[in-house]
Amino acid sequence: MLTLETAQDVLKKYFGYDSFRWGQEETISNILSGNHTACIMPTGGGKSLCYQIPALLLEGTTLVISPLISLMKDQVDALNSAGISATYINSSISVQEARQRMDEARVGEYQLLYIAPERLESQSFINELRDIPIPLVAVDEAHCISQWGHDFRPSYLRIHQLLTQLPDNPTLVALTATATPQVRLDICTTLGINEDQTVITGFERENLSFSVVKGQDRLVFIEDYVKKNIKEAGIIYAATRKEVENVYERLKKKGMNVGKYHAGLSSDYREKEQTLFLNDEISVMVATSAFGMGIDKSNIRYVIHHQLPKNMESYYQEAGRAGRDGLESECIVLYSPMDIRIQRYLIEQTTHNHERQIQELEKLQQMINFCHTEGCLQVYILEYFGEAESEPCGRCGNCTDERIAVDVTTDAQKVLSCMIRMGERFGKTAVAQVLTGSRNKKMTDLGFEGLSTYGLMKDQTAKQVSEFIEFLISEGYILVGGGSYPTLSVSNKGKEVLTKKMNVMRKETVETKQLVQDDELFQYLRSLRKEIAQEEKVPPFVVFSDETLRDMSAKLPIT
């Protein structure tokens, strides 16, 4: 009987580590007990060891299915140099080479055999696998099996069928960093894993500081940032190839040590850039999301998103590539509302299934909310991934934002009641236009001029009101309907604001400071503040805060 003791020995002997990380032990012992297992750990959590160690302890060849052709070689090389016999079969090697490796595998040459999922499309390949004793099948990046994941690979759907054809009834382990309940469920049901056999570790990364930067020239920001961190390794993600080229050119021109990576470049070029980056010969990599899945580079000090990522899953996976060594690292999103249009366009162009399109647009909305929330960004991420009730991190851009929150309940009420008067059938722009009293013909044609909320916020610009609406969306007061023309509706939380059961607080920028509560009674109490203090004979150094006054005004009977 194999014990964890021996797993521990293998950890030390082959990988040189003294102790397991959280979740590794449980996954390994689960596998060694023959249970199909799902292992969900953040990027950099150490998922590879979870199947590599059992592979060394079990009799036969462990089959590893991985979508990352570019990384198979690196992984296999690393295993080989640690004295572990492993190989891979994918489209990068010749037919003869593949044949030879399969012959070697048949005679028990390898402890691990990595294959690309597309191999499973071939029944003759599966027949060949049937001749190899396989105790364990590891499915890496298992979210690729889910249509709801961000990298769906149809060939992954063949895995279950493969399992039924292999004679030794192998154990299966599925590994991913994507934790959303939907994807988790999909992995378990598609691969026949009992949901109870899921090992999931905390998603908090205590060494990462998140922030969202708005209203700055992005190229200038990046140039300054890279200059300041010239000795550090970093990744800059852009949404399109064109943007990658733009940022790359800019940094290159300034003489920085920069590389680029996107699907429009030849695979030779990409491989070369990747290697240079891994070896610290290039310090900044400008890339689309094609870059980095599974990359094991520990000293990445920052990840900047030049544009809004398409959803929180991709965002956290990409940002999570920073600071794998546990040292402090930064993750910055450069946000401009213009990006929403780019991402919508990309979604509409690449997703033709209507239902899916709506799903993706909703995910995009949650990404936008991340950029507008004033709460802790780490908490936002953890809640998104189903870890409720976490404490504010104290490190992120919002936790360290020292601006003072002011009460904007009245303005929120104006927006919400305007939406209701417009029948909750319109989007952000239309609502902002009505509130600022726009003369836009479409608005007047619809008869919105007659609404009591028309022009109610005309002291502000449509842009300011739009931003305020984004803020209300991100804090959950307003819901956004899916579809190409998202309509706004009042959420339950928003209804509580309308019925004065809840106040809305916002950290104000200078120009929007006039949005203070103008409640009559409150103003009256305010003017009486001094007298109240005297009457109650409180010492002069006690000053009632506005908060207290508001409380009092709510409690006072109106006669």
Residues that bind Zn ion (CB under 5 A): 376, 378, 392-393, 396, 399
Asked if residue 67 binds ligand ADP (CB under 6 A), the reply is no
Asked if residue 17 binds ligand ADP (CB under 6 A), the reply is yes
Smallest separation (angstroms) from ligand ADP to the CB of 367: 22
Decide which of Zn ion, Mg ion, ligand ADP, none touches 399; Cβ closer than 5 to 8 Å per partner kind: Zn ion
Asked if residue 178 binds ligand ADP (CB under 6 A), the reply is no
Cα gap 507→407, rounded to integer Å: 9
Q: Which is nearer to ligand ADP, 175 or 236 (CB)?
A: 175
DSSP-derived secondary structure letter, 138:
E
Q: Tell me the residue type at 156.
A: Y
Strand intervals (E) in 368-437: 405-407
CB within 8 A of 46, min separation 6: which ones?
21, 23, 24
Chosen residue from 25, 27, 32, 45 binding ligand ADP by CB under 6 A = 45
Q: Which is nearer to Mg ion, 187 or 367 (CB)?
A: 187
Smallest separation (angstroms) from Mg ion to the CB of 33: 23
Q: Taking CA 199 as the corner, what is the angle to CA 198 and CA 203, rounded to the nearest 5 degrees?
A: 120
Site string for ligand ADP, 233-272 (x = CB under 6 A): ----------------------------------------
Span near ligand ADP by CB under 6 A; candidates 41-49, 146-154, 218-226, 376-384: 41-49
Tokens of 155: 């060939």
Cα gap 279→271, rounded to integer Å: 12
Q: Which is nearer to Mg ion, 136 or 238 (CB)?
A: 136
Cα gap 301→289, rounded to integer Å: 18
What per-residue string of b and e applies to 356-384 under the rule 16 or more CB within 10 Å gives b?
A: ebbbbbbbbbbbbbbbbbeebbbbbbbeb
Are 471 and 372 within 8 A, CB to CB? Answer: yes
Looking at the chain, how many residues does it have? 559
Asked if residue 56 binds ligand ADP (CB under 6 A), the reply is no
Asked if residue 46 binds Mg ion (CB under 5 A), the reply is no
| Number of other CB atoms surrounding residue 129 within 10 Å | 22
Site string for Mg ion, 198-227 (x = CB under 5 A): ------------------------------
Chosen residue from 182, 298, 400, 484 binding ligand ADP by CB under 6 A = 298
Decide which of Zn ion, Mg ion, ligand ADP, none touches 376; Cβ closer than 5 to 8 Å per partner kind: Zn ion
For the residues of 69-104, what is the DSSP string, one character each? HHHHHHHHHHHHHTT--EEEESTTS-HHHHHHHHHH
Q: For residue 232, give Cα distances in angstroms to 85, 190, 227.
A: 34, 42, 10
Chosen residue from 42, 294, 320, 494 binding Mg ion by CB under 5 A = 294
Decide which of Zn ion, ligand ADP, Mg ion, none touches 298; Cβ closer than 5 to 8 Å per partner kind: ligand ADP
State how beta strands 37-40 and 171-176 pair.
Answer: parallel
Q: Which is nearer to Zn ion, 222 or 393 (CB)?
A: 393
Cβ-closest position to Mg ion? 294
Tokens of 440: 């836009």
Decide which of Mg ion, ligand ADP, Zn ion, none touches 373; Cβ closer than 5 to 8 Å per partner kind: none
Are 207 and 330 within 8 A, CB to CB? Answer: no
Decide which of ligand ADP, Mg ion, Zn ion, none touches 153; Cβ closer than 5 to 8 Å per partner kind: none
Q: For residue 476, give Cα distances in angstroms to 85, 201, 420, 444, 511.
A: 53, 28, 16, 30, 24
For the residues of 11-62, what is the DSSP string, one character each? HHHHH--SSPPTTHHHHHHHHHTT--EEEE--TTS--HHHHHHHHHHSSS-E
Asked if residue 49 binds ligand ADP (CB under 6 A), the reply is yes
Smallest separation (angstroms) from ligand ADP to the CB of 143: 12
Asked if residue 43 binds ligand ADP (CB under 6 A), the reply is yes
| Total residues interacting with ligand ADP, rule: CB under 6 A | 15
Smallest separation (angstroms) from Zn ion to the CB of 330: 13
Asked if residue 67 binds Mg ion (CB under 5 A), the reply is no
Asked if residue 44 binds Mg ion (CB under 5 A), the reply is no
Span near ligand ADP by CB under 6 A; candidates 14-22, 99-107, 308-316, 506-514: 14-22
Span near Mg ion by CB under 5 A; candidates 163-171, 237-245, 290-298, 435-443: 290-298
Chosen residue from 324, 363, 428, 506 binding ligand ADP by CB under 6 A = 324
Cα gap 380→365, rounded to integer Å: 13
Asked if residue 494 binds Mg ion (CB under 5 A), the reply is no
Chosen residue from 7, 10, 20, 57 binding ligand ADP by CB under 6 A = 20
| Total residues interacting with Mg ion, rule: CB under 5 A | 2
| Number of other CB atoms surrounding residue 41 within 10 Å | 23
Residue 539 in 3-state DSSP? coil
Residue given tokens 């599925």 in the structure block: 174
Cα gap 304→323, rounded to integer Å: 13
CA torsion 498-499-500-504 (nearest 10°) is -30
Decide which of Zn ion, Mg ion, ligand ADP, none touches 21; Cβ closer than 5 to 8 Å per partner kind: ligand ADP
Are 296 and 233 within 8 A, CB to CB? Answer: no
Smallest separation (angstroms) from ligand ADP to the CB of 15: 7
Residue 168 in 3-state DSSP? coil
Contact set with ligand ADP (CB under 6 A): 17, 20-21, 24, 41, 43-49, 296, 298, 324
Contact set with Mg ion (CB under 5 A): 47, 294
